[in-house]
């Protein structure tokens, strides 16, 4: 069989949309200021930055430093996510409410607002342990995203300063998933 007769593999673009995305989360990534939390791709390129503005306000920035969302902690375990930066909070995107907070387990319920609610009629629940940097975001009976600590072979102690966020294919924007994980880590 000649080279021209051998079939060449051409990936289906729809298949590429079904591949999970991993973001690696750490405070020690190049380009971060003190107190920032960075979300980088597998090539260590910064994708998102979580910047603390005050004890109850945080901003989610893209890799260029442009504000995507402001995250504000209200009272009684309620957070709001608005478009834009902290000073110019615009449209409410979603609200997160703590529904359970046991010793090592936390559960949050996510409610979408406005146009996002129309695009995504999903009910999201976040369950996990903030201390272990471990959570799972559920949409009905499917997993939207999951965080886990970075384990290595023969490692006795697993540090909590670096962890992985795996975003599974679906209709939810990656920046919203990162913002929900940021809320979970605050709680």
Q: What is the pLDDT of residues 36-69, one digit of tens each?
A: 999 999 898 999 999 988 777 899 999 999 999 9
Q: What pLDDT, on the 0 to 100 scale, is given for residue 154? A: 64
pLDDT tens for each residue of 119-161: 455 689 999 998 888 999 999 888 999 998 876 656 665 566 7
**Residue 39: per-residue pLDDT:** 95
What's the Rg (C-alpha) of the chain? 18
Please report the DSSP string for the chain in residue order. Answer: --GGGSPPP---HHHHTTS-EEEEEES--TTPPTT-EEEE-TT--EEEEEEE-SSSEEEEEETTS-EEEEEEE-STTEEEEEES-STT--SEEEEEEEEEE-SS-EEEEEEE-HHHHHH----EEEEEETTTTEEEEEETTEEEEEEEE---TT-SS--SSEEEEEE-SSSS-HHHHHHHHHHHHH-
pLDDT of residue 126: 95
What average pLDDT is seen over the chain?
82
Class of domain 20-186: mainly beta
Measured distance CA(107)–CA(164) in Å, rounded:
20
Q: How confident is the model at residue 31 (pLDDT cuts 50, 70, 90)?
A: confident
Judge if pTM exceeds 0.85: no
Q: Which residue has 């901003």 as its token pair?
A: 59
Cα–Cα distance between 106 and 182 in angstroms, integer? 14
pLDDT at 141 (0 to 100): 83
């Amino acid at each position: 069989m000649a080279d021209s007769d051998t079939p060449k593999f051409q990936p289906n673009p729809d298949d590429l949309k079904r591949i999970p995305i991993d973001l690696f989360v750490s405070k020690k990534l190049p380009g971060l200021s003190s107190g920032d939390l960075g979300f980088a791709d597998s090539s260590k390129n910064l994708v998102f930055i979580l910047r603390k503005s005050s004890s109850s306000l945080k901003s989610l920035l893209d890799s260029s430093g442009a504000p995507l969302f402001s995250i504000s902690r209200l009272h009684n375990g309620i957070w709001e996510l608005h478009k834009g930066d902290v000073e110019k909070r615009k449209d409410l995107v979603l609200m997160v409410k703590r529904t359970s907070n046991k010793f090592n387990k936390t559960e949050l319920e996510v409610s979408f607002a406005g146009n996002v609610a129309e695009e995504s009629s999903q009910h999201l629940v976040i369950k996990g342990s903030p201390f272990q940097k471990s959570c799972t975001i559920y949409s009905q009976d499917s997993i939207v995203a999951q965080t886990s600590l970075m384990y290595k072979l023969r490692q006795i102690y697993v540090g909590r300063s670096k962890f992985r966020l795996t975003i599974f294919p679906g209709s939810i924007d990656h920046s919203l998933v990162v913002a929900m994980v940021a809320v979970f880590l605050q709680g």
